Structure 1
Amino acid sequence: MSTHPHTPEPVSPWTPLERPLNLRETVLEQLRTAIITGRLAEGEVVSAPSLGQALGVSATPVREAMMDLAREGLVETIKNKGFRVTRMSPSDLQDLTQIRLLLEPPAMQYVVGNIPAEIRAELDALAAECVRAAEREDLEEYLRTDREFHALLLARTGNPQLVELATSLRTRTRLYGIATLAREGKLGDSAREHQRLLEVLGEDDGDAAEALLREHIGHASSLWATGESASATDATGTSDGSTVT
């Protein structure tokens, strides 16, 4: 009998997937989260078969999901190799945030007074689930509910082009500090900003809603993107006090 100590199997960073009705969408969400949070590093080349093996699924839904991510600008196809995670410089991230700040906060002036009861109930449910996801450190669910919340809110402008553009900008953002914030219990603070935003919209205060959303988006370009503490980086997006607008 061997006397060598048992070496534990390495822990996989991937969560084996069950087989839901929409497997492709489930694979897409997990891969998108891996890129946004940096689990799949910038410049890393991956193949559909290897990712499929890690996820416990065939290469087909992975390949389909990666093609969707290529259209979103998160990966690029590499002939005979697979896919490479696109690189985002700090300047790129700042540009994305600046565009979002120009588009989304002013849109709250069109949303205020235009949220019927059934839509408000959906928004409340998404905001609450976002908080719960943050508290249990479920980044995939957090990012999904955050994205759906903002898309549904912007849809009240009646401008589908705005919704599509803002959602695309959101999915291209990198949030490398988000896992650290979740572990430190700070992600819930950002999640609860959704609920505060709904409160001021319910009070028909468009100016306050615009200001709150501007601050909320600022987190993505500063504290979330780097994992720095709020004391080191202000909500405007830079550590020296300058703004990204």
Structure 2
Amino acid sequence: MPGSEAVKRTTLRSQIADALLDEVIAGRLPAGRQFTVKEIAEQYGVSATPVREALLDLCSQDLLDVELHKGFRVREFTYADFRDMVEARTLIIEGMFRRSEDVLRAVTPQQLASARRRAEEAERAALAGDLDILIGYDLRFWREMSGLVGNSYIADFLDRVRVQSWIFTVPLLRRLPDLRGRLWHGHADLVAAVGARDVVRAQEIVDAYNRFTLDLVDGLTRADDAR
């Protein structure tokens, strides 16, 4: 069928990009790790073309750097970068709440029910200290929350910043022997505030979440520097 090969390659490209993104977020491809197209192609048993395209997709998300004559390198984010990420995602969410009256009135029971399920899943993983499971549910939760705005550009940008935040944070969190009780788990409270059309309460929860995150990462970073 004409074009079927192009569709297959595009699908393969997306699958490889998603698989590599999972590896980077989880820290299995750590910051600073160098690799080539050939290496990844052999790892997944595919040709070089979709791999190269997938890697360039991740470069466009500022997750990888191209190194001339060397291949690719997982981007290394700093603590200053992380603080900027938190500020950026705060401004995005504040912007969402500025449109709150129209946005929250338009939220359907089905949307709230879906967000609530994601929230409960994320909370269970957070309370259990299961970082790998939490990352996936947390990212999906915030995609759904930002999707309530009805602006795909806002949702995509927030998702991109949150992915970068996890990439910086995960290696620090993995150094803790037990994550139970150490991770934020206010997802359901935020959904409840949105469901009640309580903009003030929703903003308070997000502000508290940002303070919690900065305090946690600041403590982990200082402990790391003291080693």
TM range (shorter): 0.7 to 0.9
| Partner of residue 80, structure 1 | 69
| Partner of residue 197, structure 2 | 204
C-alpha separation in 1, matches of 2:12 and 2:212: 32
Count of equivalent residues: 205
Q: Where do 5+ consecutive residues of structure 2 fail to align?
A: 1-10
C-alpha separation in 2, matches of 1:193 and 1:170: 16
| Partner of residue 58, structure 1 | 46
Q: Do 2:129 and 2:179's aligned partners in 1 also have CA atoms closer than 8 Å?
A: no
| Partner of residue 69, structure 1 | 58
| Partner of residue 96, structure 2 | 107
How far did residue 75 of structure 1 move? Answer: 0.4
Helix, strand or coil at the partner of 1:87: coil
Give percent identity, aligned residues only.
22
Q: TM-score, normalised by structure 1?
A: 0.68
C-alpha separation in 2, matches of 1:226 and 1:34: 24
How does 1:1-245 map onto structure 2 within 5 Å? 24-54=13-43, 56-58=44-46, 60=48, 62-108=51-97, 110=100, 111-134=103-126, 135=128, 137=130, 139=132, 141-173=133-165, 174-175=168-169, 176-180=171-175, 183-186=178-181, 189-190=183-184, 192-223=185-216, 225=217, 228=220
How far did residue 195 of structure 1 move? Answer: 0.9
Q: Which runs of 4+ in 1 moved over 6 A?
A: none
Amino acid at match of 1:198: V
Q: Do 1:51 and 1:59's aligned partners in 2 also have CA atoms closer than 8 Å?
A: no
How far did residue 92 of structure 1 move? Answer: 1.6
Q: Where do 5+ consecutive residues of structure 1 fail to align?
A: 1-21, 234-245
Specify whether residues 115 and 228 from structure 1 end up closer, same or farther in structure 2 by C-alpha distance, changes over 3 A only: same
C-alpha separation in 2, matches of 1:49 and 1:105: 43
Answer 1 or 2: which has greater helix percent.
2
Q: Do 2:23 and 2:29's aligned partners in 1 also have CA atoms closer than 8 Å?
A: yes
| Partner of residue 16, structure 1 | none
Helix, strand or coil at the partner of 1:185: coil
Helix, strand or coil at the partner of 2:158: helix
